[in-house]
Structure 1
């Protein structure tokens, strides 16, 4: 005998839609009230972000395509629309503006090329070092390595100005080793040109000296960072490695010890365990560190402003400082805003590129595949961990 439900069944009149259940009406009402409450909670932050982030960005975008002189409102009727003229002056103008922009990009490109790998490698090394259980006083070492990151960048810059001055501690230490130290913040020579000059190469080939990009020759692009920029590179690695070390420490603590123990049971050496087991599991953190490093390096400003203000001979000039200089010192607000948006496009481009490089791959590369022959004589490509050994 079938069981009969005692709950009353509600019938609707013919031709009319059935009435919704009271429980469903209650659930939808609760969800609606929760949605309204959620919007009310985040409304203050949306307003703040809109006023202090979205609105200034939109205003800067308008300034980059206008002839605003910095006086009055940028939306006044006297401000005209010039289109991409400010961007054209930077990229294809051929004058001093293009040359300064090319010089700034050259300097910053060498800065990024050296700082990002060095600070990533050093922070990972420090994280592995202070994560070892056999190390005593790990908390003290972590604090010491992280301390430069919480110190004011202006204070660190002033400290490095004293250390690397002509009669500073660095040159005194080099004199003790019978080495004449350079005048660090006054030497505009590129380190690669210095090395080539020591080998007897003082002039580049005609293909490099006769052609160029953004107003400077390829020979100048390949000059390397100047001696003065090398000081800022050292300072950036010194001050940022502690922050990224904490990120790597947090990621290392999430790796189970059973995985490393299994690799030890398989006979893997410490270097093999780090390269084939630990490092792949740190890929998300590595992506974060490289992304933050790229953004920070392309936006370097306060060290240059406090230290050299682009000198000597504009070899420490960066796009961020050039944007400030064009806007606030030369009153060329359109060019300054255009530099800022070009810099934004460069940061987005390199972020996308490194995300593609560091993305997770689900397929096994062809070089890591081996062919397995079955008893029936058929062969097929099989991916396995044994192909790596």
Structure 2
């Protein structure tokens, strides 16, 4: 008797159903969301939600009484923004004055603190330097000290009979009244050249309610003292960033350039700087953002005076909202400041990207002239 093998099941051409279980990867995704959920909730509750609330306030005429989300609060739309840019009045003049002051502040603070931080980093990164720990701590100490406390100390230093004016007196210079002199530095320099009065071409008109003579005033004497304070207190933090970048530069690369005859400046320019380009961009970006957000030093040292020559958009937003009780305009100023920071950051990123594109591909090299006119 013969037995037949069981027939194979007929194939219908359909694929077997895919497994719908989450598996190991699914459990990992779920665990990841569970871990980051508290941070997302906290950021949404204390960061995103207040920003949206402030955006709504900037579209209303809220005076700080009651809730800004009731029907009793007038909704004005973009009137708070148009008033700041299109209507002649004190609001636009104050905003443009604050932007002018902050532009000069940024133009001096960002390059100065970046150069000082890089110089300090090069000093403490020197292998032949003794007492590195002491110098690193000393250079970084102002950055961790309270800005309010340091501002009070600088008020005494730059007082009419303070240490700064006494030191200038030893050098035969009559020191100014630092926090009472509203004259711009550029105007003072022009005065020494005999140009005491503004030319008619610069006083007849100008953009956004300020004359060209006002735009070209330069930082005031009072603002220069705040600039000196900020450069001194912020360079320590950026020094640590540059120091970390310098320590990541391969020593063999620097030694190879030395053997090829590169000078110290050539090694710094063609080896060190390209290797720390990312850190330089980070320092410039953070410095730019922080410079546009300056508030506490102005609040403690000058409160925008004299003659509003030290007022900044951040302090103007605070004063408009919490002193003048015009919360709608104050919130609008804060969002204008936010857009200014975004625009300048994108421009800076574009400039740095263009430099990276223009540079030769795989690392710029120094060139050493050799006899015969050839280079290597």
When normalised by structure 2's length, the TM-score is 0.91
Are 1:299 and 1:320, in contact at CA under 8 Å, matched by a contact in 2?
A: yes
The yes-or-no answer on 1:241 pairing with 2:239 is no
Shift in alpha-carbon separation, 1:17–1:263, aligned structure 2, 3 A: same
- Residue in structure 1 matched with residue 15 of structure 2 by the alignment: 17
Alpha-carbon offset, residue 261 of structure 1: 1.2
Are 2:320 and 2:327, in contact at CA under 8 Å, matched by a contact in 1?
A: yes
- Residue in structure 2 matched with residue 296 of structure 1 by the alignment: 290
- Residue in structure 2 matched with residue 127 of structure 1 by the alignment: 121
Unmatched tracts of structure 1, length 5 or more: 1-9, 370-382
The yes-or-no answer on 1:260 pairing with 2:266 is no
The yes-or-no answer on 1:206 pairing with 2:200 is yes
Alpha-carbon offset, residue 361 of structure 1: 5.6
Q: Distance in 2 between matches of 1:356 and 1:185?
A: 38
Provide the secondary structure at the position in 2 that maps to 1:143: helix
Q: Distance in 2 between matches of 1:124 and 1:41?
A: 38
Shift in alpha-carbon separation, 1:332–1:252, aligned structure 2, 3 A: same
Shift in alpha-carbon separation, 1:99–1:12, aligned structure 2, 3 A: farther
Alpha-carbon offset, residue 59 of structure 1: 0.7
Are 1:11 and 1:18, in contact at CA under 8 Å, matched by a contact in 2?
A: no
Are 1:12 and 1:19, in contact at CA under 8 Å, matched by a contact in 2?
A: no
Shift in alpha-carbon separation, 1:360–1:36, aligned structure 2, 3 A: farther
Aligned residues between the structures: 361
Shift in alpha-carbon separation, 1:12–1:103, aligned structure 2, 3 A: farther
- Residue in structure 2 matched with residue 6 of structure 1 by the alignment: none
Alpha-carbon offset, residue 206 of structure 1: 2.5
- Residue in structure 1 matched with residue 170 of structure 2 by the alignment: 176
Provide the secondary structure at the position in 2 that maps to 1:185: coil
Shift in alpha-carbon separation, 1:272–1:52, aligned structure 2, 3 A: same
Q: Which stretch shifts more, 197-206 or 186-195?
A: 197-206
Alpha-carbon offset, residue 204 of structure 1: 2.7
Q: 2:93 aligns with which of 89, 99, 106?
A: 99
- Residue in structure 1 matched with residue 299 of structure 2 by the alignment: 305
Q: How does 1:119-198 map to 2 (within 5 A)?
A: 119-198=113-192
Q: Distance in 2 between matches of 1:309 and 1:329?
A: 12
Spell out, residue by residue over 1:290-335, the C-alpha distance to the aligned partner (whole angstroms, 9 max, x if none).
0110111100001111111100111100100000000000011111
- Residue in structure 2 matched with residue 358 of structure 1 by the alignment: 352
- Residue in structure 2 matched with residue 3 of structure 1 by the alignment: none
Alpha-carbon offset, residue 387 of structure 1: 7.6
Shift in alpha-carbon separation, 1:17–1:109, aligned structure 2, 3 A: same
When normalised by structure 1's length, the TM-score is 0.88
Q: Distance in 2 between matches of 1:216 and 1:37?
A: 57
| Off by >3 Å, runs of 4+ in structure 1 | 10-13, 360-365, 383-389
Spell out, residue by residue over 1:123-175, the C-alpha distance to the aligned partner (whole angstroms, 9 max, x if none).
00000011000110011000000000000000010000000000111111111
User: What RMSD over aligned residues (CA atoms) do the two structures have, in Å?
Assistant: 2.1
Alpha-carbon offset, residue 78 of structure 1: 1.5
Q: Which stretch shifts more, 255-264 or 146-155?
A: 255-264
Are 1:102 and 1:213, in contact at CA under 8 Å, matched by a contact in 2?
A: no
- Residue in structure 2 matched with residue 7 of structure 1 by the alignment: none
